[in-house]
Chain A
């Protein structure tokens, strides 16, 4: 590291920026009094998940009961249903190719960020210019 960088680092360390116990207590009290948004959003989510789980289990139990009853009935009857009917009802499952856009997103991310930053530059430059014009007149 060069002298200039060392000097800046040393000079920053010389600043007396001790956090007083009063400020520390104040911050702790404030933090205890609030709840993070994420935690707040999680609570109703848990209820939804448990409701979904309960209804799914009920559905599965009902389906198993129906299958069991049908199996008992089928055991006493000769096989009447042609196989072709069953085959026609089975449709191939389309598996979506999920990772097709991953590369494009990775490439476009920094560019979009840079574009936002450039637009922010323009906005700030405009504000400065407007301020200067106001000062002139």
Chain B
């Protein structure tokens, strides 16, 4: 943690190397998350680039009271949302489901990936809350901060998301005859 704060201080002073080292541990997870939020891989790449640039530029506004990952994900969600809004206003067309990066990153044998079901049945915000909770291991408080929602909203929607996905998981397991989750 103190190493992280040292790197933050160095990056604030303009050290790109310190910033690169600082975000090294978060980059892959962030990109994976952005792939699930954007309409195509190119958008996810742009969102990652914008997120890291904004984080570097405005590092001075980071409050060490929060985890650094919380701050990064907050910027990432804003960037992904802005890209989607831009796409919508510029093109005015429904999203191309064939270009879904989540579908592209899954091998044919992994089509039953639960995150694919999550994207289909959950709203964007609940999906993000579930991802941050179960993949990034964030606390309810951190998730509320990332999504700019109240703690009660986060708790309720994490529970609803979990119930919906568990039902989906059980129905999939039942239909394939698997006994793993059922």
Name A residues whose Cβ lies closer than 8 Å to a Cβ of B. Answer: 3-5, 7-9, 11-12, 14-19, 23, 26-28, 30-32, 34-39, 41-42, 113-114, 116-118, 120-121, 124
Contacts and interface: CB of A to CB of B under 8 A. Distances in A.
B74 interface: no
Interface stretch (B6-14, B78-86, B90-98): B6-14
A28 B111 CA distance: 34
Interface string B99-127: 00010011100100111000000000000
Interface of B: 11-14, 16, 19-20, 27-28, 31-32, 35-36, 45, 48-49, 52-53, 56-61, 102, 105-107, 110, 113-115, 130-131, 134-135, 144-145, 148-151, 153, 162, 165-166, 169, 180-181
22 contacts: A3-B181, A4-B162, A4-B165, A4-B181, A7-B114, A7-B181, A11-B110, A12-B131, A14-B107, A16-B105, A17-B28, A17-B31, A23-B48, A26-B49, A31-B53, A34-B53, A34-B57, A36-B12, A36-B56, A36-B57, A37-B58, A120-B148
A114 B151 contact: yes
A15 B180 CA distance: 21
A120 B60 CA distance: 24
A83 to B, nearest CB: 53
Nearest to A23: B45
A30 B53 contact: yes
A92 to B, nearest CB: 38
Nearest to B59: A36
Nearest to A39: B14
Nearest to A113: B145
Contact of A38 (B12, B110, B153, B166): B12
Contacts of A9: 134-135
B35 A34 contact: no
Contacts of A27: 48-49, 52-53
Contacts of B58: 36-37
Contacts of A124: 149
Contacts of A5: 134
A34 B61 CA distance: 16
Contact of B166 (A4, A37, A120): A4
B48 A15 contact: no
Given A15-B102, A121-B149, 8 more contacts: A4-B166, A12-B32, A14-B113, A17-B35, A27-B52, A32-B16, A38-B60, A117-B149
